[in-house]
Amino acid sequence: MAPNTFQTRTGSGGAGKDTMLTLALIGLIGGLITGISPCILPVLPVIFFSGGAESARGTGGSGRPGAGTGTGDRRSGSGSGSGSKGTRNDGAPSSTTTSPTATLPAAANSTATVTNTATSTGPVEADEPVTRVASRWRPYQVVGGLVVSFSLFTLLGSIIISLLGLPQDVLRWAALIVLLLIGLGLIFPPLQHLIERPFARFPQKQVNPERRGFGLGFALGAIYVPCAGPVLAAITVAGSTGSIGVETVVLTVSFAIGTAIPLLAFALAGRRVAERVKAFRKRQKGIRITGGILMIALAIGLVFDLPQAIQKLIPDYTAGLQDTFNNSEQVKQALDLGGLVNDQNKNLDKCSNGSEELESCGTAPDITGIDTWLNTKDGSAIDLKQLKGQVVLIDFWAYSCINCLRSIPHVASWSDTYKDAGLTVVGIHSPEYAFEKEVGNVKASMEKQGITYPVGLDNNLSTWTNYRNRYWPAHYLIDAEGTVRHIKFGEGGYQTTEKLIRELLTDANPEVKLPAATEVADQTPTNGSTTQETYLSPTKAVNFAGTDYTLGEASFDYPSNQPADTFALNGDWNLTSQGITSPNGTVRLKFTAQTVRMVLGGEGSVTVTRDGTSETFDVSGPPDSYPVFEGKTGTTGTLEVTLSGGVDAYSFTFG
């Protein structure tokens, strides 16, 4: 099997048309979903004001064509000065216009300066300040620049930078500086003219100010960090390993176009608002200053990773779409998400993603190709063979991956809680982007996230490939004998992973006294869909908010942080293979649904409490379904159910 499906095929005339079309469609759909996700929110204000509003007609003042003042929306054709007719009303040069010397679009409180001369070879004198018409193509230029830049840097950036011997984050810093200068130029005209001065010696064709939108988009593309997913993972692996072929390019460009379509729609909406809303039409200066401020704010925010902090607080409203797309078998097959199979990793596919029970998936592959080790003694390497007798959790992550950042608090808490009980956590930092390969950047993120366990920088994705991984984050749980027992791709499932960690620690040392389970709030975004059927028996329960949920009698307390779509117990309970009973206990359920029903049996009463209001009903006879809540579609809430002695509870169902 080829390392990935994107290598150019030899001896067959390249990839088939069907394969190319499939990859193009997958890339486009994957990009579209990413383009409407919270990941693109940081760039939207810049796109709206600088890509859209600045291209609106009628934002340049009160002048009109032919008025002779030279201060209107378009160049005057009959005003004073020593030059020729200027431009037509559509902003294009007229047939008698000589080559003027022009500056970039006017900033803040000035008009764009265009110098008319008697002939194309005459002296250059700034004698007639005018405001040039904004380019109607600016939104397309900005988004087009972003597409070209993102595609180029994602595929070739890391390779080119390595060949030049430059720091891996040089492109990101260069783009941030360009963005900052453009923003300052929009606010302070003298600075803009100073920036433009070196370009004045070039022929006018080469310094067309109305194409400046492409430069802005190009800078944005270098700092554009869309959410991780299988499409972006496949592109990143191809770029990092140099396995770039026609299929890779098709997938990359189609993905970039997909992410750009929503951005273009937003830019065009910005232009429409600026044309229709009177306040925008009369405030060109304000629009430019606002655009400049937003560019500066974005640049500064990216330096301090502020967009990541904001994204962590925003629910991922595209989670459902992403899950459906990412889990599609056609997508997995087209992107070859099985990875490169070798003797070390051939049994990994025996593990199912997020299994509730321990599985046996072969000896853990080696950790290979690590550039730098952090949080180890003298930077020494971690060898899994030397960790025999320890339970090991390998966490694949990248510091700009918002999904990973929501996962890390759980991983760090497990490391702190169970390290004395025999757990070793090993982080494998597998970069999505070139700037994530810089040791200093990773160190800073680790300090910010409170990561104290060892982390290896897998800059060439060697370990990533050896584990056949394609996801950020991804967890591989290894027992004390060195066998992979559990794999979890993506966010969530933390209670299951912790439960299995505890099982393996007990298996490795039956005498170990485990501390209480961790209580870290699960920030995994939910898509608002209905909670799945919830079984209460330990033999079937998959979403119990806690650990040690086993058959027999036990006492429980509610956890301080209960995740959504889970249940928890309080009081004394008898847990059987069919259901649960209690003489005085309560069940707390967090759910999303229009209706909630509970399967109950036996003889007694049940009290349901929600928002301080309680209702009691009787239960009698064999198990049956009883309504416990009725509300609006998509209601999210919490119920407490108190059972009297003699009532058996089996499950919750939702509608």
pLDDT in tens, 523-581: 776 655 678 778 888 877 668 887 778 888 989 999 888 988 899 999 999 998 778 99
Using CA atoms, how far residue 633 sits from 314, 528, 531, 628, in Å, is 22, 10, 12, 15
**642 pairs with which residues across the strands?**
586, 607
Lowest-pLDDT range of 80-94, 368-382, 550-564, 600-614: 80-94
- Within-domain flag for 515: no
What letter would DSSP give residue 120?
T
Assess whether 232 and 246 both reside in one domain: yes
Q: Comparing C-alpha atoms, which of 593, 566, 590, 571 is closest to residue 582?
A: 571
CA distance between the termini of the chain? 45
Assess whether 355 and 411 both reside in one domain: yes
Lowest-pLDDT range of 133-147, 219-233, 435-449: 219-233
Whether the CB-CB separation of 515 and 506 falls below 8 Å is answered with no
CA angle 79, 82, 83 (to 5 degrees): 75
- Within-domain flag for 446: yes
Q: Which of 293, 313, 333 finishes a domain?
A: 313
- Within-domain flag for 333: no
- The average confidence (pLDDT) of the chain is 73
Q: What is the structure's pLDDT at 343? A: 84
Whether the CB-CB separation of 525 and 318 falls below 8 Å is answered with no
Q: What is the structure's pLDDT at 89? A: 37
**pLDDT-based confidence at 162, cuts 50/70/90?**
low
Look up the domain containing 288 and give its range.
Answer: 20-54+136-313
Distance CA 317, CA 527 (A): 6
What letter would DSSP give residue 7?
S
pLDDT tens string 23-44: 778 778 777 877 777 666 666 7
Q: What is the structure's pLDDT at 117? A: 39
Whether the pLDDT of residue 299 is over 80: the answer is no
Assess whether 176 and 118 both reside in one domain: no
Whether the CB-CB separation of 91 and 105 falls below 8 Å is answered with no
Q: Mean pLDDT throughout 427-452?
A: 88
Assess whether 73 and 158 both reside in one domain: no
Lowest-pLDDT range of 62-66, 247-251, 271-275, 611-615: 62-66
Q: Which two tokens stand for residue 432?
A: 């999505």
Q: What is the structure's pLDDT at 156? A: 67
Q: What is the structure's pLDDT at 524? A: 76
Assess whether 164 and 289 both reside in one domain: yes
Whether the CB-CB separation of 475 and 395 falls below 8 Å is answered with yes
Q: Comparing C-alpha atoms, which of 3, 27, 5, 24 is closest to residue 14?
A: 5
Assess whether 158 and 306 both reside in one domain: yes
Q: What is the structure's pLDDT at 28? A: 81
Whether the pLDDT of residue 608 is over 90: the answer is yes
Whether the pLDDT of residue 71 is over 60: the answer is no
In 329-452, beta strands by DSSP E? 372-374, 391-397, 423-429
Assess whether 164 and 308 both reside in one domain: yes
Q: What is the structure's pLDDT at 131? A: 44
What letter would DSSP give residue 214?
H
What letter would DSSP give residue 453?
S
- Within-domain flag for 5: no
- CATH (domain of 451): 3.40.30.10
Q: Comparing C-alpha atoms, which of 398, 422, 430, 424 is closest to residue 411?
A: 424
Q: What is the structure's pLDDT at 505? A: 97
State how many domains the chain has: 4
Assess whether 219 and 304 both reside in one domain: yes
More confident residue, 45 or 74: 45
**pLDDT-based confidence at 328, cuts 50/70/90?**
low
**pLDDT-based confidence at 171, cuts 50/70/90?**
low
Predicted TM-score (pTM) of the model is 0.48
Q: What is the structure's pLDDT at 587? A: 94
Q: What is the structure's pLDDT at 278? A: 62
Q: Mean pLDDT throughout 509-522?
A: 91
Whether the pLDDT of residue 173 is over 80: the answer is no
Q: What is the structure's pLDDT at 416? A: 96
Q: Which of 272, 296, 313 finishes a domain?
A: 313
CA angle 298, 301, 303 (to 5 degrees): 110
**Could you tell me what percent of the chain has a pLDDT over 90?**
25
Distance CA 353, CA 356 (A): 9
What is the DSSP pairing of strand 534-535 with strand 455-457?
Answer: unpaired
Q: Mean pLDDT throughout 136-156?
A: 77
**pLDDT-based confidence at 270, cuts 50/70/90?**
confident
Q: What is the structure's pLDDT at 310? A: 58
More confident residue, 623 or 415: 415
Whether the pLDDT of residue 90 is over 90: the answer is no
Lowest-pLDDT range of 6-20, 100-114, 301-315: 100-114
**pLDDT-based confidence at 314, cuts 50/70/90?**
low
- Within-domain flag for 526: no
Q: What is the structure's pLDDT at 115? A: 40
pLDDT tens string 99-144: 333 333 333 333 334 344 333 344 443 333 444 445 677 788 888 8
- Within-domain flag for 438: yes
Ordered DSSP codes for 94-139? PTT----EE-SSP-TT-PPBEE--SSTTS------B-PPPPPTTHH
Distance CA 386, CA 367 (A): 12
Other C-beta atoms closer than 10 Å to the C-beta of 338 total 15
Q: What is the structure's pLDDT at 546? A: 78
Lowest-pLDDT range of 303-317, 455-469, 626-640: 303-317
Assess whether 473 and 539 both reside in one domain: no
Assess whether 166 and 266 both reside in one domain: yes
Distance CA 105, CA 284 (A): 12
- Within-domain flag for 319: no
Assess whether 554 and 616 both reside in one domain: yes
Assess whether 617 and 554 both reside in one domain: yes
- Within-domain flag for 185: yes
Whether the CB-CB separation of 649 and 598 falls below 8 Å is answered with yes
- CATH (domain of 598): 2.60.120.260
Q: Which of 438, 473, 508 finishes a domain?
A: 508
